[in-house]
Amino acid sequence: MAIFALRTTSNREDQVFDFITTNIERKGIQVYSVIRAHGLRGYIFLEAESREEAEESYQKVPYARGLLPKPVDYKEIEHMLEQVKVQVNIIQGDIVEIISGPFKREEAKVTRIDHVKDEVVVELLEAAVPIPITVKMDAVKVIRRDESSSTAVMNREKVPEQVVPVKEPSEEMNKEETKEEGKKKKKKKDHRSDDDVDLTMDDYDFDINL
């Protein structure tokens, strides 16, 4: 297994990529990956079982101009393939342009977003009947946004403050509490405990008549 560099017509890399991918799936060619390095014009890379398999994958493909004589070392293209997690700013209702795949350059409206799978469901604007299409987030770019949708998202992100009003005790409640306290004090005063009984004895209490 080796990596081969395929020359293409400049600015036609995406078309060659799509045609080769279709050939591989339809014919079962042993090409394990097709690499379109961003920022590199005139080349795409094929990771194939052999040179023959790589050559078969682009037969009769427009804008494909042939393989370079020698395989490419992975270290030579490693810096082009480093994956960087980019936060995609897409919200429901956005108008986007599809930038890769069979619907490339078509405009569509985002109807649903799956952040777990990094996918969006869109409906083509030019289609007579709106059909949901699922594409990767990095396969679309936002070209127009409805301001109301953007405002709604910002409002959802804000956590509303909840204020619970505290009612002041009414005059009637104050009167009832005052009466209740008076009853308790009176009851306490009327109740005499053993400690309140006078147990002292005078001298005449011990005067015994014989």
Q: Specify if 132 maps to a domain.
A: yes
Instruction: Tell me the backbone φ, ψ of residue 76, rounded to 5 degrees.
Output: -70, -25
Do both 18 and 62 map to the same domain?
yes
Do both 6 and 56 map to the same domain?
yes
Tokens of 1: 């297994």
Q: Specify if 198 maps to a domain.
A: no
Q: How many structural domains are present in the chain? A: 2
Instruction: Give the model's pLDDT for residue 193.
Output: 47
Q: Is the pLDDT of residue 202 over 60?
A: no
Instruction: Give the model's pLDDT for residue 130.
Output: 82
Instruction: Give the model's pLDDT for residue 159.
Output: 46
Do both 58 and 100 map to the same domain?
no
Q: Specify if 181 maps to a domain.
A: no
Tell me the residue range of the domain where 18 lies: 2-80
Q: Specify if 101 maps to a domain.
A: yes
* Residue 117 binned pLDDT confidence (cut-offs 50, 70, 90): confident
Residue 30 class from Cβ within 10 Å (0-12 exposed, 13-18 middle, 19+ buried)? middle
Round to whole Å and give the CA distance between 87 and 115: 10
Q: Specify if 107 maps to a domain.
A: yes
Give the whole-number percent of the chain exceeding pLDDT 70: 64
Round to whole Å and give the CA distance between 120 and 138: 10
Q: Domain of 11: which CATH number? A: 3.30.70.940
Q: Domain of 114: which CATH number? A: 2.30.30.30
Do both 7 and 57 map to the same domain?
yes
Instruction: Convert the pLDDT of each residue in 131-181 to its tens digit.
Output: 899 998 888 888 888 665 545 445 544 545 455 454 555 555 555 556 666
Do both 76 and 104 map to the same domain?
no
101 vs 7 pLDDT, higher one: 7
Do both 40 and 106 map to the same domain?
no
**Which of the listed residues 112, 128, 149 is the one where a domain comes to its end?**
149
**Which of the listed residues 130, 149, 168 is the one where a domain comes to its end?**
149
Q: Specify if 188 maps to a domain.
A: no
Q: What is the 3-state secondary structure (H, E, C) of the chain?
A: CEEEEEEECCCCHHHHHHHHHHHHHHHCCCEEEEECCCCCCCEEEEEECCHHHHHHHCCCCCCEEEECCCCECHHHHHHHHCCCCCCCCCCCCCEEEECCCCCCCCEEEEEEEECCCCEEEEEECCCCCCCEEEEEHHHEEEEECCHHHHHHHHHHHCCCCCCCCCCCCCHHHHHHHHHHHHHHHHHHHHCCCHHHCCCCCCHHHHCCCC
**Which of the listed residues 50, 80, 110 is the one where a domain comes to its end?**
80
Do both 16 and 75 map to the same domain?
yes
Q: Specify if 52 maps to a domain.
A: yes
What is the overall mean pLDDT for the chain? 76
Do both 67 and 129 map to the same domain?
no
Do both 6 and 63 map to the same domain?
yes
Do both 76 and 6 map to the same domain?
yes
**CA distances (Å), 127 to each of 20, 122, 123, 144, in order?**
27, 12, 8, 18
Do both 71 and 24 map to the same domain?
yes
